[in-house]
Amino acid sequence: MATTRPTKSTAAAKPATATRKPAARKAAPAATRGAKKLVFPSVEWFAGLAALAKADEAYRKFGRLNATVVFVAGASAIEVTFDVLDIHSIRKVNENHMRDADFVVELAPELWTAMLDDIKKHGHATQEWTLNTLDLRLDEPIHANLLDDGFKADMFFRYNPSLQRFFDNAAQLDFTVKVAATA
């Protein structure tokens, strides 16, 4: 039966796939151990993830990248600058600033929650919850350049393994998800 793709607000049906083993990981840096519980989405949450990535050999092995990315979850939009192997200038932004980003990644609150739950549970995103799969299987891509610059939007694919590893490291963070609905 032909159907349309699931929307951003509904989780994609899961295909039967092989179970993947969690990748071996280093212990979380001291800065993230025993610290106050982080909340997603927040500048502090992304800063914690950035600290993990910068110390993560597997992340660094994926190589250099240069992109300014805004992650949108409900009413929250947080810009992260990936600069070679550094990650900096993490800040809240408004819609006007989002246009300056190379690309925006936007998911419905329940999909962010489900994706991060999957990462926590398995140590990384399983096949149906990777950024690539979500982008492919939802009715609209989860990434976009707001000025319709396809060259910049394509960075989502060019840097995809790095971005996936960036989020997979969330398995090492102690956090809760509190996404405010879009205003």
Partner 1 sequence: MVQTTRKTARAKGEHAGNGATNGATNGATNGATNGAGAGRVIPTPATPPAPLMVEPPDLSWMDKTTGWGTRALPDLVHGGGLTIDALNIGTYSKVPDHFPYRNRLPRGAYPSPIAGSIGGYYLQDKWEQWADCAGQMYEEGISRRWSTATDVPWETATGLPDDVEIALCQVATELSHQGSIETEVVCSWLQNLSPGYHEVKLFLATNVYDSARMFEGYRKRGMVNGGGMLFESPGRMNRAVMETFSGWTQTVLGLWFLRGALQLTILRYLAAYGPTEADSVLAARMIPDRMRAAAYAVDHIRQAIAARPDQRVAFAMWLTNLELAQAADAKDPVLWEALAVALGGGVKQIDAGMAIVRRLQHDWVQSYIDRARSAGLERGTDLGRPYQAMLAEGATAAT
**Which residues contact partner 1 (rule: CB under 8 A)?**
1-6, 12-13, 15-18, 20, 61-66, 83-86, 88, 127-128, 130, 132-133, 136-137, 149-151, 154, 157-161, 164
Helix orientation angle between 160-168 and 109-122, rounded to the nearest 10 degrees: 70
Q: Which is nearer to partner 1, 4 or 94 (CB)?
A: 4
Q: How far is the CB of 35 from partner 1 (least distance, A)?
A: 25
Q: Which is nearer to partner 1, 49 or 131 (CB)?
A: 131
CB of 79 to partner 1, least distance (A): 16
Rounded to a whole number of angstroms, the minimum distance from the CB of residue 3 to partner 1 is 5
CB of 44 to partner 1, least distance (A): 22
The dihedral through the CA atoms of 173, 175, 177, 182 has a sign that is negative
| Main-chain dihedrals φ then ψ at residue 5, nearest 5 degrees | -70, 155
**Taking the CA of residue 138 as centre, how many other CA atoms within 13 Å lie in the half-sphere pointing to its CB?**
21
- Contact between 44 and 144 (Cβ < 8 Å): no
